[in-house]
Amino acid sequence: MTVVAIVGAGPAGLRAAEQLVAAGLRPVLLDESPRVGGQIYRQPPPALQRPARELYGFAAPRAQALFDRWAALQPQVDHCPGTLAWHLQDRRLHLLQDGLPSTLRFDALVLATGATDRVLPFPGWTLPGVFTLGAAQVALKAQATLLGPRIVFAGTGPLLYLVAWQYAKAGADVRAVLDVAPSDAPRRALPQLLSRPGLALQGALLLARLRLMGVPVQRGVRLLGADGDARVQALRWQAAGQTRSTPCDAVAFGHGLRSETQLADLAGCAFDWDEVDQAWLPRCDAQGRSSVPGVYLAGDGAAIRGADAAERAGARAAQALLADLGRPVPPPTPAPPADERWRRALQALSPLPAGWAAHTPDELLVCRCEEITAGELRAEARHSGAHELNRLKALTRIGMGRCQGRMCGAAAARLLAHAAGVPLQAVGRLRTQPPVKPVPVQALAAAAPPAMPVPEDQRDD
């Protein structure tokens, strides 16, 4: 039997499943969350159920359509919720489902692994009360909890405004929205924003509503630091030459999104530098075929395009997969050129702060897991002449902790490129090693065959 696996049950993964089911296959859908929807349409536990309108705002019709479709598909899909795909080797996924190990051999695989916040840290970001935008959204959507009560949203990207509005609408005391993108970014991004006029209009409405609710929105901001003793008490920032401090109980921040590419890396996919996302991304064709036969990429895990484009990409990747299996499929849906323009629009709207690396003080903690400061990274780059990220990792432990660089990698790469005086892409990317996320010793031990004597040539003693 042909085994087709999908990793990720967000918009891309669900639409891929839909196509596969339509072709008569029974895909295996693996996801870390207990319920489908991904990050964008994250669902609360059944006991905390709230109306879609309340959870997803103007995206509610899309979310509801996806969930309705899923309800019809579910009986024809092997859905494995609460399942971490922690390794991929030789066409086999290694899984941990509710603490129990298993493996899944696949013939074809759709990686719809999504994205997480791109984090460019600022002084004080490790204080209790400072969260990522994604975490703030999880608190709201999954746990019906508001961070705060007084909260400041900072950073850049569409999520900044979306989460701020969701909080404001849910009754939070949103003290400010501080965008580090230049004030003229929306004007510059306008031509590309018009590639999806509906979405652009929604963005504009969001901003208007925030202002109507009396939330101050400031662009062209430089984040100076979160202040507080035991926890955050104020966010200090600078705009138009003036320094201000906004008292608050919580800060949620993020600088756009970064693709989750570890499984693609473990699968052996080739990576290319992507100018738009300013990141190394797994190579794939317009249909989502990676450089490894049988491995397909879709959604934000392939490049940041947003949820709507992810739905289309998921369907396309599944169609490519079916065609490659020799199954009769309708002619593949071409990718609308607007998807690519929208991707550029998103980045033009929220460029990363120029000079972030130059402005970052030496004492800033860049890597929370291993407690490494910007100054240590700079000093090591100077001392050793390292200008490659894996070398810096070996010498400083940056990216070697629990997150394996998923949180600190973007910042470390920028600091290294700045210190070495080379373009960002020239420092390369962190090599992925399993596990994708930490796994308990005991759980993996359960997967081992009964203990055998160590072969003579492997004694290592």
Any contact of residue 94 with another protein (CB under 8 A)?
yes
Residue 452 Cβ vs another protein, minimum distance, rounded to whole Å? 8
Residue 370 interacting with another protein (CB under 8 A)? yes
Q: Of the ranges 219-227, 303-311, 331-339, 431-439, which one interacts with another protein (CB under 8 A)?
A: 431-439
Cα–Cα distance, 9 to 106 (Å, whole number): 17
Binding segment for another protein (CB under 8 A), chosen from 13-21, 144-152, 298-306, 382-390, is 382-390
Whose Cβ is closer to another protein: residue 13's or residue 148's? 13
Least CB distance to another protein at residue 359 (A) = 25
Q: How far is the CB of 391 from another protein (least distance, A)?
A: 6
Q: Tell me phi and psi for residue 101, to 5 degrees.
A: -85, 150
**Could you say whether residue 294 binds another protein (CB under 8 A)?**
yes
What does each C-alpha distance from 14 to 27, 69, 300, 325 come to in angstroms? 10, 9, 13, 20
* Cβ–Cβ < 8 Å for 431, 271: no
Pairing of strands 222-227, 234-239: antiparallel
User: DSSP assignment, residue 99?
Assistant: T
Q: Determine which residue in the list 2, 103, 143, 245 makes contact with another protein, applying CB under 8 A.
A: 103
The residue (of 251 and 269) whose beta carbon lies closer to another protein is 269
When the beta carbons of 204 and 270 are compared against another protein, the nearer one is 270
The values of phi and psi at residue 97, to 5°, are -115, 115
Q: What angle do CA 73, 77, 78 make, to 5 degrees?
A: 150
Told to check if 421 binds another protein by CB under 8 A, we report: no
Residue closer to another protein by CB (options 127, 444) is 444
Edge-first strand order for the sheet with 100-105 is 83-89, 92-97, 100-105
**Residue closest to 96 by CA, chosen among 32, 19, 145, 142:** 32
**Residue nearer to another protein on the CB measure, 352 or 389:** 389
The binding track of 249-278 with respect to another protein, each residue x by CB under 8 A or -, is ----------------x-xxxxxx------
- The residue range among 134-142, 198-206, 211-219, 441-449 that interacts with another protein, by the rule CB under 8 A, is 441-449
Q: Are 44 and 142 in contact (CB under 8 A)?
A: yes
Longest Cα separation, the chain = 75
Closer residue to another protein in complex, CB, 105/187? 105
Question: Distance of CA 412 to CAs 156, 321, 357, 396, 429, Å?
Answer: 19, 36, 9, 11, 10
Task: Write out the binding residues for another protein, residues 43-82 only, by CB under 8 A.
Answer: 78, 80
Stretch that binds another protein, among 15-23, 250-258, 318-326, 398-406 (CB under 8 A): 398-406
Rounded to whole angstroms, the Cα distance separating 156 from 458 reads 52
Question: Considering the rule CB under 8 A, would residue 292 count as an interface residue with another protein?
Answer: yes
Q: How many residues bind another protein (CB under 8 A)?
A: 70
Q: Residue 238, interface with another protein (CB under 8 A)?
A: no
On whether the CB atoms of residues 427 and 420 are closer than 8 A, the answer is yes
| Contact residue for another protein among 44, 82, 182, 435 (CB under 8 A) | 435
User: Whole-angstrom Cα distance, residue 321 to residue 174?
Assistant: 45
Residue 438 CA from chain centroid, whole number = 17
> Can residue 102 be called a binding residue for another protein (CB under 8 A)?
yes
Least separation in angstroms between residue 342's CB and another protein is: 26
Single residue of 50, 105, 211, 359 touching another protein by CB under 8 A: 105
Which of 9, 36, 55, 104 is in the footprint of another protein by CB under 8 A? 104
Q: Specify the stretch interacting with another protein by CB under 8 A; choose among 60-68, 90-98, 145-153, 209-217.
A: 90-98
Q: How far apart are CA 176 and CA 193, in angstroms?
A: 24
Q: What does the alpha-carbon distance between residue 24 and residue 1 come to, in Å, rounded to a whole number?
A: 12
Q: How far is CA 117 from CA 66, 137, 173, 190, 446, in A?
A: 23, 11, 23, 24, 33
Phi, psi of 47 (to 5 degrees): -70, -20
394 binds another protein (CB under 8 A): yes
Q: Rule CB under 8 A: say whether 454 interacts with another protein.
A: yes
2 binds another protein (CB under 8 A): no
Rounded to a whole number of angstroms, the minimum distance from the CB of residue 246 to another protein is 35
Residue 95 vs 140, nearer CB to another protein: 95
Cβ distance to another protein smaller for residue 316 or 429: 429
CA distances in angstroms from 127 to 142, 194, 404, listed in the order given: 23, 39, 21
Note whether 305 binds another protein by CB under 8 A: no
Cα distance between residue 109 and residue 3, in whole Å: 9
Residues that bind another protein (CB under 8 A): 28, 78, 80, 87, 89-92, 94-95, 97, 101-105, 265, 267-272, 291-294, 370, 383-384, 387-391, 394-395, 400-402, 404, 425-429, 431-435, 438-442, 444-449, 451, 453-454, 457-461
